[in-house]
Chains A and B, each alone.
Chain A
């Protein structure tokens, strides 16, 4: 074909008025005559349907960005709670990816672990464990999250609830004691935290807020700062509000998530805590502790925004965020437990389909009614 191109080039390059060649040009009658059947495949022209351009986004890049955004908070968790936190995170990530690979192997599917979505599930699951939890817990939780919630439903994109959250709820309901064994942060990455009587705090700040037992000292500068950097009792990845917000903002700047879910979620919780202060605290303290005292930042930026289990359009996402916020406020206020982020998000996961349907864009051509 190349040869032919060259020949054409010569004819085309010369002036049209040139003396005509004596012989008439050869006339290929069969259009396929110049395509010999033994042309090797890679020299034939490739024919595919349009478009022929791609933005370059891949599932793996998006998932990788989420992992990057989670990294600072993970490092902080190790600093706050000692290297037992690192063990939890690694165990959860490895077992999530391992279980996914195993399932793919058993079903003879192509192995999908390198899209990194399982790694995110692992990190999030570990983030939702108290650091003193036994080390088999991340493994059992991963099994439940990946095998049952994700893979049995068809793998990536097919699960309708967030696997990490279901894993957490499963653990919390099966081994309730282990899941609320909050320890004080040790602020030393080289400690192996174990549950000893003096390390146990018994409650998260959110719990204290709810019971109206927030100590006086909690309203002061040092303690407020501690809340922001995460030096407080709680699950190992949820405490450092500052880095979680930074991670969330990073995802927004990189175009991975939109602002609608976090804004709707956090805004709603903040508004209700301001209007109806919790446990007799002052309105501002109530807002501050509602936002930073539990798992809200982790939930709003990383769990509720999970693509697979959140709505598609920005409008629906805003409603979804507000829904999560309302449920969280409701559960925290009236439920038996202090925290309600996991359940709110799981419940909202169930109405995503409905939200998508309800916010289907109007048909192009039916102009918005004035």
Chain B
């Protein structure tokens, strides 16, 4: 098979669902929990008080900081509480708890006449992204407006990432198939915002229907190309995608802008197109709900703040899950509660049965089989990283470029010794970070005295 980047794997897992029909609009639940952190950067401050009546699409959280994103009410109703609540990234986070009045009364801003997309200037587009609270919906959660304003003029190619970050997820697939025109429009808006030349939409070749829909939507637009890539995890990773498409490598610690590329998730692009036209903020998204114990696994369109349990209940679970993931099987986060809400970055909910969750063999010592080295997309030597992290040798970990690890989990996935490789590397990175901060403090302290 053609190999566009080093390593990678193609896990044979099937989510047993199709995106034949558009994603089902899940009715909003009675109570919605809207975390104030759903993005990279500063937490949003609540702009409402307990007891306030809010309207659908009204801005209810925001902050002054440079890197942050606004948060909007996904339904109309009453603010019942502002309190700590479960967060899909683990732990708890302050959240605005809304009681849905079931009427979906829209905010005034949403009632304004739709804008003409072609008339918008780059600045207006960036402002629209800011106003709509759009973030990277593939999982990174980086505020789109910040990404755009930081890279105006430096970008040659805008890449829309339709590679679906992980196996088993079909959220973006559904967007591309059923809203191809919005995806293309969004991509063109991004291109205009950063004054790029080219727009590439990258899709994996296991989604021929999405490719066909996009090609149709992009017909007659010479600046847009739809590229089918061989299906291989982790192609959806930014650095890997740039490598696969442009044959260029993003240096360690740099953003894709360093090689003239801007990457944006297809769903974010479609949301941007909608936000530019009708001013509708990011208040709902596609979520893949999959797992062998579901009677009807499917892609749902849910309001931000809907608890996982509501989505799961809609998919007819045959038994309670033993393990519940937010995200895909490779990088997803295990949840401790079914009541965690959908946020802007939750692309999938995965349920695992007892057997699937416990499918682990006993670990042995590293047998130096070389699979991890062969499969690591970032050209690392996980085997040696493992060796030095067992020794606690941080300088050597640093020399072996542990900072380059994108935490794709492929090493752990392929290790026949069943070693928790990535888990050790996370710890190593954490320790290294601590050490660096301590060293920096010492240095600064030294200067003062």
Residues on A facing B (Cβ under 8 Å): 1-2, 4-6, 8-18, 20, 24-25, 27-29, 31, 34-35, 42-62, 112, 115, 117, 154-158, 258, 307-314, 317, 356, 360-367
Contact B371 A57 (CB under 8 A): yes
Contact B338 A5 (CB under 8 A): yes
Within the assembled complex, what's the spacing in Å between the Cα atoms of A155 and B352? 35
Q: Which of A45, A46, A308 contacts B368 (CB 8 A)?
A: A308
Contact A53 B97 (CB under 8 A): no
Within the assembled complex, what's the spacing in Å between the Cα atoms of A366 and B97? 48
Residues of B within 8 A of A317 (CB): 370
Q: Is B84 positioned at the interface, with any CB of A under 8 Å from its CB? A: yes
Within the assembled complex, what's the spacing in Å between the Cα atoms of A59 and B329? 22
Given the known interface contacts A51-B329, A112-B364, the answer about A363 and B309 at a Cβ–Cβ threshold of 8 Å is no
Contact B13 A47 (CB under 8 A): no
Given the known interface contacts A46-B322, A49-B426, A312-B381, the answer about A8 and B9 at a Cβ–Cβ threshold of 8 Å is no
Within the assembled complex, what's the spacing in Å between the Cα atoms of A117 and B368? 13
Within the assembled complex, what's the spacing in Å between the Cα atoms of A362 and B314? 49
Contact B337 A363 (CB under 8 A): no
Contact A57 B254 (CB under 8 A): no
**Number of A-B contacts defined by CB within 8 Å:** 228
Q: Is B201 positioned at the interface, with any CB of A under 8 Å from its CB? A: no
Contact A156 B364 (CB under 8 A): yes
Contact B314 A13 (CB under 8 A): yes
Give chain B interface residues in 162-191, CB to chain A under 8 Å: 167
Residues of B within 8 A of A62 (CB): 367, 369, 416
Chain B, residues 315-340, CB within 8 Å of chain A (1/0): the string is 00100111111010111111111110
Within the assembled complex, what's the spacing in Å between the Cα atoms of A112 and B363? 10
Within the assembled complex, what's the spacing in Å between the Cα atoms of A205 and B102? 90
- Nearest A residue to B75 by beta-carbon distance? A16
Residues of B within 8 A of A2 (CB): 320
Residues of B within 8 A of A5 (CB): 309, 312-313, 317, 320, 338
Residues of B within 8 A of A310 (CB): 368
Residues of A within 8 A of B28 (CB): 16
Chain B, residues 231-253, CB within 8 Å of chain A (1/0): the string is 00000000100000000111110
Q: Is B412 positioned at the interface, with any CB of A under 8 Å from its CB? A: yes
Contact B368 A44 (CB under 8 A): no
Within the assembled complex, what's the spacing in Å between the Cα atoms of A49 and B368? 23
Contact B334 A9 (CB under 8 A): no
- Nearest A residue to B316 by beta-carbon distance? A9
Q: Which of B81, B322, B426 contacts A27 (CB 8 A)?
A: B81
Size bracket of the B interface: 35 or more
Contact B92 A8 (CB under 8 A): no
Residues of B within 8 A of A360 (CB): 381, 400
Contact A363 B401 (CB under 8 A): yes
Within the assembled complex, what's the spacing in Å between the Cα atoms of A157 and B11? 27
Chain A: minimal CB distance from B349 (Å): 12
- Nearest B residue to A24 by beta-carbon distance? B99
Q: Is B404 positioned at the interface, with any CB of A under 8 Å from its CB? A: yes
Chain B: minimal CB distance from A110 (Å): 8
Q: Which of B252, B350, B417 contacts A363 (CB 8 A)?
A: B252
Given the known interface contacts A15-B27, A157-B367, the answer about A365 and B80 at a Cβ–Cβ threshold of 8 Å is no
Residues of A within 8 A of B337 (CB): 31, 34-35, 45
Contact A50 B332 (CB under 8 A): yes
Q: 7 additional contacts, CB 8 Å, given A20-B102, A52-B334, A157-B367? A: A27-B31, A35-B337, A46-B357, A51-B410, A115-B364, A156-B367, A307-B368
Within the assembled complex, what's the spacing in Å between the Cα atoms of A354 and B155? 42
Q: Is B30 positioned at the interface, with any CB of A under 8 Å from its CB? A: yes
Within the assembled complex, what's the spacing in Å between the Cα atoms of A2 and B30? 19
Contact B339 A52 (CB under 8 A): no
Q: Is B38 positioned at the interface, with any CB of A under 8 Å from its CB? A: no
The stretch that binds A, out of B210-218, B372-380, B435-443, is B372-380
Contact A52 B325 (CB under 8 A): yes
Give chain B interface residues in 27-42, CB to chain A under 8 Å: 27-31
Q: Is B86 positioned at the interface, with any CB of A under 8 Å from its CB? A: yes
Within the assembled complex, what's the spacing in Å between the Cα atoms of A154 and B364? 12
Given the known interface contacts A12-B27, A57-B416, the answer about A312 and B373 at a Cβ–Cβ threshold of 8 Å is yes
Contact B381 A52 (CB under 8 A): no
Chain B, residues 374-406, CB within 8 Å of chain A (1/0): the string is 100011110110000000000000001100100
| Of listed A360, A363, A364, residue having the most chain B CB within 10 A | A364
Q: Which of B30, B85, B404, B415 contacts A364 (CB 8 A)?
A: B404
Chain B, residues 78-93, CB within 8 Å of chain A (1/0): the string is 0011011110000010
Contact B422 A50 (CB under 8 A): yes
| Of listed B350, B413, B414, residue having the most chain A CB within 10 A | B413
Given the known interface contacts A8-B29, A34-B339, A308-B367, the answer about A365 and B254 at a Cβ–Cβ threshold of 8 Å is yes
Q: Which of A11, A42, A44 contacts B310 (CB 8 A)?
A: A11
Give chain B interface residues in 272-288, CB to chain A under 8 Å: none
Within the assembled complex, what's the spacing in Å between the Cα atoms of A57 and B248? 32
